[in-house]
Chains A and B, each alone.
Chain A
Amino acid sequence: MQAMSEQKRKIHPHKFTLWVAMGSILMMFAGLTSAYIVKRSQASWMMLEIPMVFWYSTVTIVVSSLTVHLALKAIRAREMVAYRRWMVTTAALGALFLLLQVVGFNALGENGIRLVGAGSNASYSFLLAISGLHGLHVLGGVIALMVIAIKAVSTTSRTYSSLPLEIAATYWHFVDALWIYLFIFFNWMK
């Protein structure tokens, strides 16, 4: 049993791996946003008009961070009904966020702004490339959340280990915080 206590003081290797991975992802976005800053100081920069939809998607992902936290609290307290409810809510909010992002870029297109192709401006292309890459990372998180949610709802297996959700929740908070950073960045660095 001494081994157990020794084990508990150390962070789980998979969790640790996730932290390193988040550092790595952060470097990618640091690279992209600094490229954006360099580009912004050069000629023919266009002021970004950020559609209202992106505000809604920001609220969605912030709320989903809250619900994933509630799900984690629920499984730790063994309140499985609440756990299932919050898991499904979180996964749904994650999917909604992605949907809203797509709606946002469509709105830009409808306003006659070219994101790609001839006549496109690097400012908006950056918005698309950076948010798109962020979206891919969110998509990975949504898939992980959905797998956990399906396992939570399924009647064939019963799992009470909170580790998978702990890892997924940490990642989810990370992509949430990353989006908030990007959102502030885009609004501030028009």
Chain B
Amino acid sequence: MSSEAIKHGHAVAEVHSHDAHDSHGHDHHHEESFLTKYIFSTDHKMIGKQFLITGIIWAIIGGLFSVLFRLQLGYPEMSFPFLEDLFGKWAAGGRISNDFYYALVTMHGTILVFFVLTAGLSGTFANILIPLQVGARDMASGFLNMLSYWFFFLASVVMFASLFIQTGPASGGWTIYPPLSALGQASEGSKLGMDFWLISMALFIVSSLLGGLNYISTILNLRTKGMSMTRLPLTIWAIFFTAVLGVLSFPVLLSGAVLLLFDRNLGTSFYLSDIVVKGEILPNEGGSAILFQHLFWFLGHPEVYIILLPAMGMVSEILSVNSRKPIFGYLAMVGSLFAICILAFLVWAHHMFVTGLNPFLGAFFVLLTLLIAVPSAIKVFNWLTTIWRGNIRFTPAMLFAIGFVSLFISGGLTGIFLGNSTLDIHLHDTYFVVAHFHIVMGVASFFGMFAGVYHWFPKMYGRYLNNTMAYIHFWVTLVGSYLIFWPMHYSGLAGMPRRYTDWSNWQSFNQFADMNRFISTVAMVVFAVQLLFVFNFFYSIFKGRKVKSQNPWGANTLEWTTPINPGHGNWPGDIPEVHRWAYDYGKDGREFIPQTEAVGEHESKH
């Protein structure tokens, strides 16, 4: 505790010239064992890598699940004997059983939303980037930060274990609505698997909260001298708002989950009333299933932005660096992040338009939902004007950042359809919804994450990722994502419902059989290309081209003033002082001016 205070005091106290970081002389290394360096590390950079690699493992599992259920959806009449070899009774006769299908869908959603895009994306980049970009030796509390990872790890272990229990993992959709999820007798997936799910999520929430607390206090308290809030890179602003969203919304999900655990295990009736299961009348009365939906979506909607905001922040940074132009409308970018953050808490009921919500109440939620289009449009406009007439370098990170903008526009536009309560009567629970949230939240955030990995990999491992594999990865993923999700809009408009195992006996949706087969095939190709990325990632950690220059992208932010392989504490000498914002690109005839450079006498204003 005291050592951190000293560290911090040190940072504020000693302000020399920004050249100080070049001296590698007085690097105070304390001896680290394998255990303290790689496993129980309190170094934010190592914790970030732990989040990233755990996230990658989960992404492979979650992605594989989608391939499995796409096999069923695309080829409903075929049987795949290898499935029975792998999954036994869950895929008897080589066909995925109905229960197993629902379990796969549920786990795919849970894993991707929480374990990959929350922990793997914001956990990774918040950890790696906050101290490096604000100019701090480490997080406000390295210990809490370590706990944050290990709670995530525990949550992962519990969730992973639930895949192997006899009654299978939780099923009922990632939203686990009661009464289905509250009653073990209602389905296989509501038995032990659901308890595992709830316990795992409780641990996950603790992990996110510990992480979020740390991110907020690091950003607000440990900025280096000269790093005012308005000089922060947009990545940090985005992560800051993400953490605020998480800290305020996850506890509400926790309370919802605790009440559900009560209902499941202690026979209470928070969510249950007047239910008959298999001819048996249950004694529960007085509960309300809708109550759970309110509690769930009060988190659930901000969760969308918890996933999306870090991607937006990284994309802003990467677009500016690789266009060699300042970000357009910095304050508007911060303001729109703030607006999204506020609105995120006021729109949850748009997930509940068809639950019997009062239509007059619905009108307010429609209005507030559509209002989100305003900050979103500001952001898109600013990204486009940032790259407009820029001196663009098409690095893999840049391509993924541009891809993010493309997906965000395509997916965002369908959000305007779904935000209308009247249209939602027709569109809810159809493939239109699936297409919308996969493009705007799933794939777009993945693109932001990939952009971040490609851009900061040199900082993380001191090596580059292989470019050829990166370009293949980008183009196949971009084209593939559109090929998978674009057609779903049409079947959704035609009313094709989500979460069904088989439509082949359904006259109205037979016409989409070929399209479904096409989608499934593309999904498999895209999944294979993600494995290529995983290979590239691990191969490059050990064998990638070595980074030779301290600042390979010619970027202004502080992380590029650290040594190529920074130790614990980040800067061997003093922490550099900051004199300007992070976006002085192409100014006064200079390609870029790092934040550490003092403002010259005759410099023009930005």
List A residues at the B interface (Cβ < 8 Å). Answer: 2-4, 6-7, 10-14, 16-17, 20-21, 23-25, 27-32, 35, 38-39, 42-45, 115-122, 125-126, 129, 133, 161, 163-164
Contacts and interface: CB of A to CB of B under 8 A. Distances in A.
Contacts of A24: 209, 212-213, 247-248, 250-251
Contact of B209 (A10, A21, A43, A126): A21
Interface of B is mostly: helix
Interface residues of B, number: 49
B252 A27 contact: yes
Nearest to A16: B217
B140 A27 contact: no
Contacts of B262: 116, 125, 129
A35 B5 contact: no
A30 B248 CA distance: 10
A21 B286 contact: no
Contact of A27 (B2, B248, B268, B288): B248
B9 to A, nearest CB: 5
B214 A45 contact: no
Interface string B483-494: 000000000000
30 contacts: A3-B12, A7-B12, A13-B221, A14-B141, A16-B217, A17-B214, A20-B212, A23-B247, A25-B251, A27-B247, A27-B252, A30-B252, A31-B252, A31-B255, A31-B256, A38-B288, A39-B286, A115-B268, A116-B266, A117-B267, A117-B268, A118-B283, A119-B283, A125-B262, A125-B269, A126-B270, A129-B259, A129-B268, A129-B270, A164-B1
Contacts, number: 134
B266 A13 contact: no
Interface in B9-41: 9-10, 12-14
Nearest to A117: B267
Contacts of A43: 286
Q: Main SS of the interface on chain A?
A: helix
Given A24-B209, A24-B213, A122-B270, A13 B141 contact: yes
Nearest to B298: A31
Contacts of B209: 21, 24
B286 A35 contact: no
Given A3-B13, A116-B268, A16 B288 contact: no
A38 B1 CA distance: 43
Contacts of A115: 268
A28 B252 CA distance: 5
B1 A163 contact: yes
A43 B221 CA distance: 49
Contacts of A4: 9
